[in-house]
Amino acid sequence: GSGVLQGTVVNGTPGGPEIGAGLAVTLRVLEGTVEVQVLETETDAGGSFRFEGLDTDPALDYWLEAVYLEVPTSSLEPYGFDEGQERIDATLTVYETTSDDSDLRVGSVHIIAESFGEVLRLSEIHFYGNGGDQAYVGSPGEDGRPRTVFIPLPEGAMGVAMGEGIPAERFAEADGGLWDTEPVPPGGQTALVFFSYHLLVAGDTVALDR
């Protein structure tokens, strides 16, 4: 193809070091939900990168990714070529890290309840974000994995299952709930948890404490 996607990886944390040479940048090419190609390159001394020979079909989406300080970062939106366009200029922002959780906030929580006679199935969607300028990485647990956000579960919850596209191994079990292990990058709603569980019903009323 004749398409070019070029840009720069920048450090979004004020006072953080500039991104220099050698940072791996990945470009994932998707047609709908199907990944059709994965390309890789590295930044130069100025933090710039360049992908050439790309297909300019407007039906294709291009996602940029990089891992900085062990925190994976991807473009907020996919890039794409418009009809007749052959060059895209892009910026990928990475951040320094912190274990201070004071800037974390819950953006919104959605709870869906479904009744199946003596069983109540509840599905919850939690959006949370980071109001600071550093990626929150939490602190390591006993198994060495990081602990970032605690997701409490109601007493008696059974059959906990993650929503589509969310791997169960991302979470660590704990008394009273689950620990998320993924970092929370800066932004209003940059992390998502989607899960479901069941509660037994012993009458006409169910007490749900969240």
39-51 per-position pLDDT tens digit: 999 999 999 999 9
Please count the CA atoms within 13 angstroms of the CA of 81 that sit on its side-chain side: 22
**Reported pTM:** 0.86
Q: What is the pLDDT of residue 18?
A: 96
Q: DSSP strand E in 95-180: where?
A: 97-98, 104-116, 119-130, 135-136, 139-140, 146-147, 150-152, 158-162, 171-174, 177-180
Q: What is the pLDDT of residue 113?
A: 94
In this predicted structure, what is the pLDDT of residue 19? 97
| Per-residue pLDDT at 83 | 92
With beta carbons less than 8 A apart as the criterion, state whether 163 and 195 touch: yes
Question: SS3 helix, strand, coil % of the chain, rounded to 5?
Answer: 0, 55, 40
Q: Cα(28)–Cα(66) distance, rounded to whole angstroms?
A: 11
Average pLDDT, the chain: 94
- Which ranges of the chain have pLDDT less than 70? none
